[in-house]
Amino acid sequence: MTGAIESIIGLAIPAATPLLLGSVGALISERSGVLNLGVEGIMAVGALMAFITAGVTGSPWLGFLVALLSGMVFASILAIFSVSLKSNQVITGVMLSLLGVSLTTYFGRPWTGKSVATFDSYTVPIIGQYLVELPFLGQGLMQSTPIDYLAIVVIPVVWYFLFRTDIGMEITAVGDDPETADTMSINVTRTRYLCVLLSGLFAGAAGAAVSISFAELWTSNLINNRGWIAVALVIVSQWDPVRAVGGAYLFGLIYAMQFRAQSVDFASFLPMASDIGPVYDFVFHPVIMSTYPFVITIAVLVLTTRTTRKELSAPQALAKQYMREGE
């Protein structure tokens, strides 16, 4: 039993990393009032660019860097249309996701089935060699890829940036009341551009985490709606990066259980599993388990339609265009 749990947790952590990075990126953008529904497409672009770069150069680090840059470049489309041209943010975000997935499906065909240089797992220096022996959590937490560690470190950094710095306070002001922020000499356009580009950077990193750290391959549907789940996580976390951690690792655990469903007997963890055999077989069937993240995502989105922005702690100007007098 211990070995099975360690196996699931060890897979859950890298599975959660793309969701965590993607949700943090979307959160930063939405804190400024720009709804980023293009995370799926940006992640796809970052994943393909990281994979191609790592394949050509043999360096996963260079692939990761290119993913960050390509994510920012692709997110700039959202910034131009949503901030400068005042287009509908929902439509722009959805179209950006469709564009990113379509482009990577077409240009990624030559790379399907090929292997490239990927990140190896490392043990945390000094303390890792001792803590890795801890039951259940040791190996998963203390022996991961650099991107997995980066995702964990990013959370307190982003939290501090948003809630304890002047720039973070300006971002919050722009997201809640851009007109008042403008009268206080805060450049609304510049702030929103900065946040959307940062959102693209994190989404690009999330894509790289999928292609050269977790899956270590390229397929046409590699992202597999992780971007949409990341968007839902922002709502669940109430636009707080610390709260997003729990949701990301919960979804990562679901992914891990799905992947291990054929090799792990979950009945050994459940009391009276033998008495509910048909129910057990249905609930833990790999195909059924693959739907759980999306069922939860849909449930969250339905719930938000019945809840006010104030109750959700959402930025009050989220998805609302701001035009200065005279524009």
Residue 309 above 70 pLDDT? Answer: no
Bridge-based pairing of strands 122-123 and 143-144 is antiparallel
Q: Widest CA span of the chain, in angstroms?
A: 72
Each residue of 220-261: pLDDT tens digit? 889 988 999 999 899 888 899 998 998 898 888 888 887 766
Q: Could you tell me if 105 and 219 are in contact, meaning their C-beta atoms sit under 8 angstroms apart?
A: no
**Of residues 24 and 308, more confidently modeled:** 24
pLDDT at 322: 86
pTM for the whole thing?
0.89
Residue 58 above 80 pLDDT? Answer: yes
Q: Which residues contact 128 (CB under 8 A, 6 or more apart)?
A: 142, 143
Residue 308 above 70 pLDDT? Answer: no
Which domains are assigned to the chain?
2-113+129-260+291-312 (1.10.3470)
Q: What is the mean pLDDT of the chain?
A: 85
Q: Which residues contact 157 (CB under 8 A, 6 or more apart)?
A: none
Handedness of CA 5, 3, 118, 100 (dihedral sign): negative
- Work out the pLDDT band at 95, boundaries 50, 70, 90: very high
Mean pLDDT of 18-30: 95
Other beta carbons within 10 angstroms of residue 111's beta carbon come to 18
Q: Could you tell me if 56 and 273 are in contact, meaning their C-beta atoms sit under 8 angstroms apart?
A: no
202, 177, 203: which is closest to 191 by C-alpha? 177
**Of residues 139 and 181, more confidently modeled:** 181
pLDDT at 251: 87
Question: What's the CA gap between 154 and 41, in Å, rounded?
Answer: 22
- Work out the pLDDT band at 131, boundaries 50, 70, 90: low
Q: Could you tell me if 212 and 154 are in contact, meaning their C-beta atoms sit under 8 angstroms apart?
A: no
Lowest mean pLDDT among 21-30, 69-78, 276-285: 276-285
Mean pLDDT of 199-226: 92
pLDDT at 192: 97
Each residue of 166-201: pLDDT tens digit? 999 999 999 999 999 999 999 999 999 999 999 999
Tell me, rounded to whole angstroms, the distance of Cα 233 from its chain centroid: 8
Handedness of CA 137, 285, 44, 62 (dihedral sign): positive
- Work out the pLDDT band at 298, boundaries 50, 70, 90: confident
Other beta carbons within 10 angstroms of residue 140's beta carbon come to 22
Other beta carbons within 10 angstroms of residue 219's beta carbon come to 15
pLDDT at 294: 77
**Of residues 210 and 119, more confidently modeled:** 210
Q: Could you tell me if 40 and 100 are in contact, meaning their C-beta atoms sit under 8 angstroms apart?
A: yes
Three-class DSSP category at 123: strand
Question: What's the CA gap between 20 and 24, in Å, rounded?
Answer: 6
Lowest mean pLDDT among 191-200, 273-282, 315-324: 273-282
Q: What H or E segment, with its residue span, contains residue 144? A: strand 143-144
Query: For 235-258, what is the HEC assignment?
Result: HHCCCCHHHHHHHHHHHHHHHHHH
